[in-house]
Amino acid sequence: MDGSLSGLGDISTPGRVAGPDEGVTAQELALATRNHGLPLEALRYEVTPPGLHYVLVHYDIPATEADGWRLTVGGRVLRPLTLDLDALRARPAVTRRVTLECAGNGRARLTPRPVSQPWLDEAVGTADWTGVPLAELLAEAGIAEDAAEAVFTGADHGIERGVEQDYRRALPLATAADPARDVLVAYAMNGAPLPPQHGSPLRLVVPGWYGMAHVKWLRDITLTPTPYTGFQQSVAYRVRQAAEDPGEPVTLIAPRALMVPPGFPDFMSRTRVVRPGRVPLTGRAWSGHGPITRVEVSEDGGAVWTDAELHRDPDHPWAWTAWRTTWTATPGLRHLTVRATDARGNVQPMTQPWNRGGFANNHVQRVEVLCTPATTETAPAATETAPAATGTTPAATETTPAATEPRSARPPA
């Protein structure tokens, strides 16, 4: 259901942007602890392990059980279907390697900041998804002549901006029923049953589209003769400049390249440290509009660019492309920048055009790197005296006996 509720008070607030000096809110931090991105060093994996793949859960992870789960296919169809998991698994299985990216990736880097899940650049992942082609299920059900869209309903339920709803999204039939689009009703990820956070026991996978289209915990598909106008379709996931602007729908993923951060990091700032000399730079690039045709790297913030070498896998057209190059690092602070271009000529922007929801951001990645010669940490003396403890007994201030393991040799707590 999608229905406005009265009496919600302050628990479900309208969308807004942060004030000029407003930091990340407690509500945003709560979202950030529930959801997580890909550690960028995990870009080295061609296929992302499920625990490292980005996760966004709108409401709760529902309590689902594979036994007894049913998927219904109805609405403007000739032969409505009700299928359990055994019936789906009995069909010929198809596996597609697909890169997913959250539509809000990069939101926290915008100024002013849209107040929502505070993604930086890390809301992405690539997995091998196994299931049944959606086009085959729709063909079996028989598409009525007046059907225009397929509406997908998940089992997650909640309130957003005062609207109580099941999570529900629609696709045009030109996408949903086209075998060439490789849309899947998936029941496995990387060769294993879907984990709870990734939609167990059933989810939609829509190659090339941002993550909001990949409905998790999928329980119903309904074909409709008119466009679906529910909250997640007509209010959320729109690129708009003002609250009253109807905006444009978020659909295909814009091109993006990400770099495996080189060297090693500072704990808090995440500034990277490398040694002088040749430093390998690697990463991944992807686009929902077509193949990646170029990746460029700059060490001076974009004044001069160097082309990276691309390593495409023709067997996986919906997955990211690996890239690599070598950078000769010299002492000093550098700002490495990487950008991608796709086959349609779309290029990542140096400065991201702003929109109120922070959607479809694909600004270039910038990595701060300090190149410095190696330094050696001074080890503490093995005869370090134990610090004085509070208390009145003489034993409380005595020196550690020689037979006792020195504190410097003990593992940190």
Report the CATH number at residue 316. Answer: 2.60.40.650
Share of the chain above pLDDT 70, in %: 88
**Phi, psi angle pair for 107, to nearest 5°:** -55, -40
Rounded CA-CA distance 65/84 in Å is 11
What's the pLDDT score for residue 3?
62
Which CATH number fits the domain that encloses residue 125? 3.90.420.10
**How far apart (Å, rounded) are the C-alpha atoms in residues 154 and 149?**
16
- What is the distance between the alpha carbons of residues 151 and 224, in angstroms, rounded to a whole number? 7
For the residues of 145-191, what is the DSSP string, one character each? TT--EEEEEEEEEEEETTEEEEEEEEEEHHHHT-GGG--EEEEEETT
Q: Is residue 411 part of a domain?
A: no
Whether residues 177 and 288 fall in one domain: no
Per 3-state DSSP, what percentage of the chain is helix, strand, and coil (rounded to 5)? 15, 35, 50
Residues 173 and 280 in one domain: no
Is 402 a domain residue? no
SS3 of residue 93 by DSSP: coil
Is 401 domain-assigned? no
Q: Quick one: which of 336, 369, 161 has its CA closest to 258?
A: 336
Does 160 lie in the same domain as 14? yes
Residue 139 counted as domain residue: yes
Q: Name the domain boundary from 215, 249, 283.
A: 249
What DSSP string describes 231-291? HHHHTSSEE-SSTT---EE--BPPPEEEEPPPSEE-TTT--EEE-SEEEEEEEEEE-SSS-
Mean pLDDT of 328-352: 97
Q: 216 with 327, same domain?
A: no
Q: Which of 190, 216, 249 corresponds to the end of one domain?
A: 249
Do 238 and 283 share a domain, yes or no?
no
267 shares its domain with 137: no
Condensed to tens digits (0 to 9), the pLDDT of residues 127-166 reads: 999 999 999 999 999 999 999 999 999 999 999 888 899 9
- The yes-or-no verdict on residue 385 having pLDDT over 90 is no
pLDDT for position 175? 98
Residue of 199, 212, 253, 77 whose CA lies nearest to 149:
77
Angstrom distances, CA of residue 139 to CA of 78, 81, 168, 216:
10, 11, 22, 22
Q: Are 186 and 91 in contact (CB under 8 A)?
A: no
- Residue 301 or 258, more confident: 258
Same domain membership, residue 276 and residue 222: no
Domain count, the chain: 2
Shared domain check, 236 and 88: yes
Q: What is the pLDDT of residue 397?
A: 37
Could you say which of 204, 234, 249 is where a domain stops?
249
How many CA atoms lie within 13 Å of 263's alpha carbon, on the beta-carbon side? 27
Residue 396 has a pLDDT of 38
Domain assignment present for 327: yes
| Per-residue confidence (pLDDT) for residue 72, from 0 to 100 | 99
Instruction: Answer yes or no: is 34 within a domain.
Output: yes
The number of angstroms, rounded, from the C-alpha of 276 to the middle of its chain's C-alpha atoms is 33
Residue 105 burial (10 A CB sphere; 0-12, 13-18, 19+): buried
Q: Specify whether the CB–CB gap between 238 and 355 falls below 8 A.
A: no
Same domain, 317 and 198: no
Residues 103 and 244 grouped into a single domain: yes
Q: Is the pLDDT of residue 238 over 70?
A: yes
Rounded Cα gap, residues 195 and 54, in angstroms: 13
Which one, of 92, 40, 110, 10, lies nearest residue 357 by Cα? 110
Q: Is residue 203 part of a domain?
A: yes
Mean of per-residue pLDDT scores for the chain: 90
Q: Considering the domain boundaries, does residue 385 fall inside one?
A: no
pLDDT tens digits for range 52-89: 999 999 999 999 999 999 999 999 999 999 999 999 99
Q: How far apart are CA 76 and CA 272, in angstroms?
A: 55
Whether the predicted pLDDT of 351 surpasses 80: yes
332 and 201 both lie in a single domain = no
**Residue 249 pLDDT more than 70?**
yes
CA distance 349 to 356: 18
- Residue 135: is it exposed, middle or buried by C-beta count within 10 angstroms (0-12/13-18/19+)? buried
Nearest Cα to Cα of residue 119 among 32, 202, 181, 61: 32
Both 185 and 291 in one domain: the answer is: no
State which residues form the domain around 359: 256-371
pTM here is 0.88
Determine if residue 388 is left, alpha or beta; phi over 0 gives left, psi from -120 to 50 gives alpha, anything else beta: beta
CA dist., res. 127 & res. 49, Å (int): 8
Joined tokens for residue 273: 């440290």
Greater pLDDT, 12 or 182:
182
Strand partners, 282: 324
